[in-house]
């Protein structure tokens, strides 16, 4: 038989369940939103000393735990300020934050790629499709290395040399970027292999002789990672 009291009790119970569920959902959403805003320093998959003798443990430790970490922290600070400016509709502050976003965002993007481009088991020559593309676009692996080394050594002041993929033409390209300008965000090329020629990347070991550092780094290039990046870029 129908009992109005039971029916009301059931309805209240369901409403309570829905309220609790909604509260839990909104808590989860805000946690996800907060976690998405925070960038973190990625772990290396090898020890700081693993790239010796080509890159010293001291350079790797400072480069990763101090320099890259600073880009990550400053990117988070900049994004927080940007969110505030966005919420207020403050376009002037948004525009003023652009250089910091480019510098710290680029620093984080570039170094994150760089660590995976290197491996203690690296060096040698690339295989398969990547090697075919290098031969097609540069004539030979040796010629590509020479061109990329020359462009990278010639970077004025601080910056990066890159092997990138041009989606429009389907070709590989060599490019140089100043400061921490990220390759894709500033040229449209998809980054495959980057060589950091900021002095923090080599000075403790190679002093002013940047060409020696660039020549040495080919011994620890992780060609499997570069190949994977090419496969991803082509998709
Ligand atoms: Fe660096």
Q: How many whole angstroms from 170 Cα to the centroid of ligand 1?
A: 29
Tens-digit pLDDT profile for residues 126-158: 999 999 999 999 999 999 999 999 999 999 999
Reported as a pLDDT band with limits 50, 70 and 90, residue 4 is low
Q: How many whole angstroms from 92 Cα to the centroid of ligand 1?
A: 30
Integer CA distances (angstroms), 192 to 64, 99, 103, 220, 228, in order: 20, 24, 20, 15, 9
Domain boundaries, the chain: 54-235
Reported as a pLDDT band with limits 50, 70 and 90, residue 15 is low
Q: How many whole angstroms from 110 Cα to the centroid of ligand 1?
A: 8
Average pLDDT of the chain to the nearest whole number:
91
Q: What is the pLDDT of residue 203?
A: 98
Tens-digit pLDDT profile for residues 190-227: 999 999 999 999 999 999 999 999 999 999 999 999 99
118 Cα distance to chain centroid: 13
Q: What protein residues have CB closer than 5 angstroms to ion ligand 1?
A: 196, 198, 201
Residue positions forming the annotated binding site for Mn(2+): 63, 111, 196, 200
Judge whether 64 and 41 are in contact, CB under 8 Å: yes
Q: How many whole angstroms from 200 Cα to the centroid of ligand 1?
A: 6
Q: What is the pLDDT of residue 125?
A: 98
Integer CA distances (angstroms), 25 to 11, 21, 41, 204, in order: 21, 6, 28, 51
Q: How many whole angstroms from 111 Cα to the centroid of ligand 1?
A: 6
Q: What is the pLDDT of residue 134?
A: 98
Q: How many whole angstroms from 164 Cα to the centroid of ligand 1?
A: 18
Question: What is the distance between the alpha carbons of residues 135 and 140, in angstroms, rounded to a whole number?
Answer: 4
Q: How many whole angstroms from 194 Cα to the centroid of ligand 1?
A: 10
Of 227, 197, 234, 232, nearest to 55 (Cα)? 197
CATH topology of domain 54-235: minor pseudopilin epsh fold (3.55.40)
Q: What is the pLDDT of residue 37?
A: 73
Residue 24 has pLDDT above 60, yes or no: no
């Amino acid at each position: 038989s129908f009992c109005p009291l039971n029916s009301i009790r059931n309805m209240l119970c369901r409403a309570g369940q829905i309220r609790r569920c909604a509260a839990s959902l909104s808590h989860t959403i805000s946690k996800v939103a907060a976690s998405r805003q925070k960038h973190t320093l990625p772990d290396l998959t090898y020890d700081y000393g693993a790239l010796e003798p080509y890159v010293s443990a001291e350079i790797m430790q400072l480069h990763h735990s101090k320099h890259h970490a600073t880009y990550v922290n400053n990117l988070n600070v900049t994004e927080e300020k940007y969110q505030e400016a966005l919420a207020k509709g403050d376009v002037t502050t948004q525009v003023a934050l652009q250089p910091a976003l480019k510098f710290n965002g680029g620093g984080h993007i570039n170094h994150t790629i760089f660590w995976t481009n290197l491996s203690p088991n690296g060096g040698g020559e690339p295989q398969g499709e990547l090697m075919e593309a290098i031969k097609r676009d540069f004539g030979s692996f040796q010629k590509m290395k020479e061109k990329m080394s020359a462009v990278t050594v010639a970077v004025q002041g601080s910056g990066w040399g890159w092997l990138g993929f041009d989606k429009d033409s389907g070709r590989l390209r060599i490019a140089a970027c100043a400061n921490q300008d990220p390759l894709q965000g500033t040229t449209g090329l998809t980054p495959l292999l980057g060589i950091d020629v900021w002095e923090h990347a080599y000075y403790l070991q190679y002093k002013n002789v940047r060409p020696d550092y660039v020549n040495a780094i080919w011994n620890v290039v992780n060609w499997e990672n570069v190949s994977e990046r090419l496969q991803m870029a082509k998709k």
